[in-house]
Each structure stands twice: as C-alpha cells, then as structure tokens.
Amino acid sequence: MAERTMTMTAPEDTVENPTSTTRTAPTRDVDRAAVLGLRRSPAQDLAEEMLHGSGEAVRLREVPFLTQVAIRATPGHGAALADALGVALPTSVGAVSGAADGSGLAVLWLSPDEFLAVGLDEAESGISPEACAGGLADAHGSQPGQVVDVSANRTTLELTGARARSVLEKSCEIDLHPRVFAVGTAVATLLGSTGVILWRTGEDSWRVMPRASFATHVVRWLLDGMREYV
C-alpha cells in the first residue's frame, strides 16, 4: 500500500502582503516524525509498574501504537483486500494469516465477515494507519463491507515467559492448552469481565489487546496474577 503525502493547511498562520489586501494561508508539510514523538500510549504511565512487577518466569510490557485496521468483508468478496494487503484473509475461527508471530503484518479472524489487520508502528514501518486504511478502502471499492482505522481503539500488552499461560488461565475461561490454542491463534474473549483480543505469538508469548480505556485495569489485573511467580 502506497504511503499518502500528508499536508496540512494552517489558516491561522495567514500572512498579509503589506502592498496588498490579499491574505494567504500557507500550506506546510507536517513533520511526521515530530508528531509521532508526541504520542502517549494508554499504558505509558504504567511502564515502571510493569517493569518492577515482572520477573524471570513472567514479564509484562506494552507494545504501543500498532497499526490496526478493522475490516468487514462478505465471505467470498475479500480477494481485492487480500491483494492490497499481500496477505490472504483467514478463513477459520482463531486463524491468523501473515506474520502470526507479530513480527509484521498479520490478519486476525474475529468472525466470518470481520477481521483485524495488525501491522507495525508507523515509526517503524513508515506507513501511517490512515494510509493503510485508505489504501484498503480504495481496493475494496463498492463491495459489501467496510474498512476503518481503529489503531487508537486498542493497545497491545505482551505477556511472556514460562508462566505467562498460567497467569492468563487464572481469569480466561477458554482452553489455552497448546493442543487447542496453538501458536498463531487469536480470539476475542474475556479476561475476567473485560473484553480483549488474545493472540498467542510464540510458545511462551501472548498478546493481550484491550480497549484503550481499559488498559490500566488490564495491566494491574495481569500484574496481580503475576505476583506469585515473581
């Protein structure tokens, strides 16, 4: 997907020519790197708590600012989206296509016509979420469905270590045993009473994706579950 040129018009910075009554509103390129440097992630203020609450057996950290694009596509009408993504849309419950370990672009199956494309942070990939969503929307055209940038909707917490599954099993009612929940599986489920997307990215590596407004609650919920192993 091609990056779109980002420009911004600033009418408040008008310049008046002293020899003319004409006022002009200069257009300037956005310093994207500077803008990215001003971002604050939902769990940023909890970084020290996560660091001090982690140990050799289990560790917790935030993986902030991942690009996330929600896709609704009627089964059988996702070919153009798959071509634009370079990754086929998954076709079964819990399936993840693309970089199932989270190292690049992945597409998570959420329901028969609902998917979540998850990519790297714009600062790493050089591609903005808006450009990703826009390119996919253009590719999808008039087919039934929709494409929406939801990158600000959720944050991503990474739980790793030999005891990571044990921590999750305290409050997640689905079966997380490897014979059922293999590496490269992702589902929408509950952690306690909080809705999350749970994605197993490695043998001892899990991503927990809560709504941004629940980030503090989920971080401290997990830290409490980790306490006996640290």
Same domain, residue pair 82 and 93: yes
CATH number of the domain where residue 91 is located: 3.30.70.1520
In a domain, 161, yes or no: yes
The answer to whether 105 touches 53, Cβ cutoff 8 Å, is no
The answer to whether 155 touches 42, Cβ cutoff 8 Å, is yes
Q: How many domains does the chain have?
A: 2
Same domain, residue pair 172 and 141: no
Same domain, residue pair 88 and 134: yes
Helices (H), 8-125: 32-37, 47-52, 79-85, 122-125
Same domain, residue pair 70 and 60: no
In a domain, 27, yes or no: no
* C-alpha gyration radius of the chain: 21
CATH number of the domain where residue 166 is located: 3.30.1360.120
- The whole-angstrom separation of Cα 179 and Cα 108 is 19
In a domain, 13, yes or no: no
Q: Tens digit of pLDDT per residue, the chain (230 long)?
A: 433 333 333 334 444 444 444 444 444 456 888 888 899 999 999 999 999 999 999 999 999 999 999 999 987 778 899 999 999 999 999 999 999 999 999 999 999 999 999 999 999 998 899 999 999 999 988 888 999 999 999 999 999 999 999 999 999 999 999 999 999 999 999 999 999 999 999 999 999 999 999 999 999 999 999 999 99
Same domain, residue pair 76 and 120: yes
Same domain, residue pair 84 and 189: no
Containing structural domain, residue 91? 65-152
Q: What is the dihedral of CA 185, 186, 187, 192, to 10 degrees?
A: 100
Same domain, residue pair 98 and 54: no
- Extract the tokens encoding 189: 């489920």
Same domain, residue pair 59 and 75: no
